[in-house]
Amino acid sequence: MPDIYDVAIIGAGVVGSAIARELAQYHLSVVLLEANPDVGMGTTKANTAIWHTGFDAKNGTLEAKLLRRSYALMEKFIPEAGIPVERLGGLLVAWTEEQKHILPSLQERAFKNGVTDVRLLSPEEVYRLEPNLRPGAQGGLFVPGESILCPFTLPLAFATQAVINGVELRLNFPVRHVDVLPDGSKRVESPAGAVRSRFLVNAAGLYSDEIDHMLGHRDFTVTPRRGELIVFDKFARRLIDHIILPVPTPRTKGVLISPTVYGNVLLGPTAEDLDDKTNTATSEQGLRMLLEKGKAILPALLDEEVTATYAGLRAATEHADYQIRLHKEQKYVCVGGIRSTGVSAAMGIAEYVRDLLADAGLELRPKAVFQPVSMPYIGAVKARPYQRPDLIARNPDYGRIVCHCEKVTLGEILDAIHSPIPARTLDGLRRRTRAMQGRCQGFNCRAHIVEILARETGQDPKFLLALDDRERTTFAHPEKSK
């Protein structure tokens, strides 16, 4: 650990990790600080998993510009790193006259954003693409570039490539104070210790306004916007083959129905402003509302089993655009207000932040060698280890299926536990391998996986299951509420 780093990045979500990866290409000492025990644990982990073209971004915004730039960068990175992706295309379906009349203006907006391949569809064309939609569609807009990807593998790939190229990742490092020292360097303090750096990047997502305050700025406030989502069983996948997007109207913003790269179908999200940055609970009315809306778009969807429900918090601000600012005198870049397009824009943001840092005097000398990264494949299109005789012949653990629903093998679980950014928690293992994410939600495999993780990492199962004393509650008196 150096006495002083060139750059400290606060937040190892998809944006912070992408910035770390970008800077890892240069001769710099970089530290990536994360409050949680794993990367990608905030807004990054609970989203709609869509790789946006940015076709509907507000014209002329930084968001629109970075989404476009990112799209081009991702087209190169995604196949190189082996990120699960499906280039399905998005289909906006107009159900009312009002929505139908909005479509041409959306097409125009897409053209202005440089997304030139969108086209208007007649109702017949809509049903030719998606025959299972409820009857009554008035028309549609097809956006070929909208795609789906794995929102767990992507940030992990960024962070992994950063780490194997020399970036230091410090997990469980919740930042409590940032001080600008007399020499201009920043001292970033957490209960786990402190680091010093010449340059500082704030990519703290939901908490980016709080970090910004620590540096003396009050440019924006983050309001967590909760989005609840429902994941349907893989047998629902045959019902659709595109991302079914709502047409936004001034009054309502609808929900989308999209395949996932794991072969499920996703319905959501809701949008509800909260004041609690930790409230990722689902709600009765949210789930009910989603089912009603889902039924009105794709009636057969509700005949399938629900595999999972979850909620994520988007880092919305009072502003319509990203809040990315260079404070040159402080050698500090704030990356706030990335709202709901972080996964799609991260690479563009990273490049942009790199240039801002250079602007503030950071010297960028490219390394001769930038180690590539190759991620384990957990998608549904290419062969997974259980479908690969070559891998099984080499190591029988790839033929030993532990999670039956998602067909996750012991080999994959051990790989994830011993990867450059190792899975240390059940949640981390779940996101890296898909284990316990299937239709039985761990009915069959959870106990086995707890045992494997405890054995391989030397952690107490009580800790893994959050039964350690720290968390103990008292059960003395049941209290009545309301």
Partner 1 sequence: MIIEETDVLIVGAGPAGLANAIELKRRGIPRVVVVDREPEAGGMPRLCHHTGFGLPDLHRLLSGPAYARRYVRMARRQGVEIRTSTTITGWDSEKGLTFTAPDGMGVITARAILLATGVRERPRSARLVPGTRPHGVLTTGALQRFVHERHLPVGTHAVIVGAEEVSLSALMTLRSAGVKVVAMITHLPQHQIYFPYSIARWMYMNVLSSTPLYTSTRIRRILGLRRVQGVEVEHLESGQRRVLPCDTVVFTGDWIPENEVARSGELVMDPGTKGPQVDGEFRTSRPGVFAAGNLLRGAETASNSALEGRRAAQAMIRFLEGETWPDHRLPLISHPPLRWVAPNSFSSRDLEFPPERLSFWADEFVDRGVLQVRQGSRVLYERAFRHLRPNKVLRLSSRWLPEVAPSGPPIEILVRG
User: 36 or 344: whose CB is closer to partner 1?
Assistant: 36
Tell me: does residue 98 bind partner 1 (CB under 8 A). Answer: no
Tell me: does residue 372 bind partner 1 (CB under 8 A). Answer: no
- Reading the block at residue 263, the tokens are 């072969």
Active site residue 177: no
Give the long-range contacts of residues 126-131, CB within 8 A, separation 24 or more: 126/91, 126/93, 129/91, 129/241, 129/242, 130/91, 130/93, 130/240, 130/241, 130/242, 130/244
Angle between helical axes of 410-417 and 426-433 (0-180°, round to 10): 120
- Contacting partner 1 within 132-191 (CB under 8 A): none
Tell me: does residue 482 bind partner 1 (CB under 8 A). Answer: yes
Which one of 97, 108, 179, 471 is in contact with partner 1 (CB under 8 A)? Answer: 471
Q: Strand runs (DSSP E) across 305-415, as ranges?
A: 306-316, 323-327, 332-336, 401-403, 408-409
Torsion angle of C-alpha atoms 347, 350, 351, 357, degrees rounded to 10 = 180
Tell me: does residue 302 bind partner 1 (CB under 8 A). Answer: no
Give min distance, CB of 443 to partner 1, in A: 5
User: 225 or 439: whose CB is closer to partner 1?
Assistant: 439
Tell me: does residue 308 bind partner 1 (CB under 8 A). Answer: yes
Q: How many residues does the chain have?
A: 482
∠ CA(345), CA(350), CA(356), 5° rounding?
125
Which one of 271, 364, 401, 414 is in contact with partner 1 (CB under 8 A)? Answer: 401
Rounded Cα distance, 278 and 205, in Å? 12
x-marked contacts with partner 1 along 257-286 as a string, rule CB under 8 A? ---------------------x-xxxxx-x
How many CA atoms does the CB half-sphere of 32 hold within 13 Å?
36
Tell me: does residue 387 bind partner 1 (CB under 8 A). Answer: yes
- Contacting partner 1 within 208-267 (CB under 8 A): 235
* Structure letter (DSSP) for residue 251: S
Which is nearest to 14 in space by CA: 455, 314, 323, 374? 314
Tell me: does residue 459 bind partner 1 (CB under 8 A). Answer: no
Asked whether the CA dihedral 446, 452, 17, 204 is positive or negative, the reply is positive
Q: What is the CA radius of gyration of the chain?
A: 23
Beta bridge partners of 257: 244, 267
- Reading the block at residue 45, the tokens are 């982990």
Considering only the stretches 123-131, 262-270, 303-311, 315-323, report the one whose residues sit in contact with partner 1 under the rule CB under 8 A: 303-311
3-state secondary structure of 28: coil
Give min distance, CB of 110 to partner 1, in A: 36
Give min distance, CB of 222 to partner 1, in A: 20
Which is nearest to 142 in space by CA: 100, 101, 92, 96? 92
Rounded Cα distance, 99 and 104, in Å? 10
Rounded Cα distance, 77 and 208, in Å? 27
3-state secondary structure of 150: coil
Give min distance, CB of 171 to partner 1, in A: 16
User: 192 or 306: whose CB is closer to partner 1?
Assistant: 306
Which is nearest to 385 in space by CA: 397, 371, 403, 369? 397
Tell me: does residue 386 bind partner 1 (CB under 8 A). Answer: yes
Give min distance, CB of 137 to partner 1, in A: 27
Tell me: does residue 469 bind partner 1 (CB under 8 A). Answer: no
* Structure letter (DSSP) for residue 366: B
User: 249 or 309: whose CB is closer to partner 1?
Assistant: 309
- Reading the block at residue 182, the tokens are 């007399």
Tell me: does residue 458 bind partner 1 (CB under 8 A). Answer: no
Contact status, residue 197 vs residue 58, Cβ threshold 8 Å: no
Give min distance, CB of 226 to partner 1, in A: 12
User: 178 or 230: whose CB is closer to partner 1?
Assistant: 230
Which one of 2, 79, 361, 396 is in contact with partner 1 (CB under 8 A)? Answer: 396
Can you say whether residue 334 is alpha, beta or left, with left for phi > 0 and alpha for psi between -120 and 50 degrees?
Answer: beta
Which one of 30, 149, 426, 435 is in contact with partner 1 (CB under 8 A)? Answer: 426
* 212, amino acid identity: D
Which is nearest to 446 in space by CA: 397, 406, 391, 395? 406
Which one of 187, 446, 456, 457 is in contact with partner 1 (CB under 8 A)? Answer: 446
Active-site hit among 27, 52, 319, 418: 52
Which one of 355, 360, 440, 459 is in contact with partner 1 (CB under 8 A)? Answer: 440
Give min distance, CB of 284 to partner 1, in A: 5
Total binding residues for partner 1 by CB under 8 A? 55
Which one of 400, 422, 457, 459 is in contact with partner 1 (CB under 8 A)? Answer: 400
Tell me: does residue 310 bind partner 1 (CB under 8 A). Answer: yes
Tell me: does residue 371 bind partner 1 (CB under 8 A). Answer: no
Give min distance, CB of 387 to partner 1, in A: 7
User: 176 or 404: whose CB is closer to partner 1?
Assistant: 404
Beta strands 186-190 and 323-327 are unpaired
User: 129 or 440: whose CB is closer to partner 1?
Assistant: 440
Residues carrying an active site annotation: 52
Residues that bind partner 1 (CB under 8 A): 235, 278, 280-284, 286-287, 291, 305-310, 386-387, 389, 392-393, 396-397, 399-401, 404-405, 407, 426, 439-444, 446-448, 450-451, 461-462, 465-467, 471, 473-475, 478-482
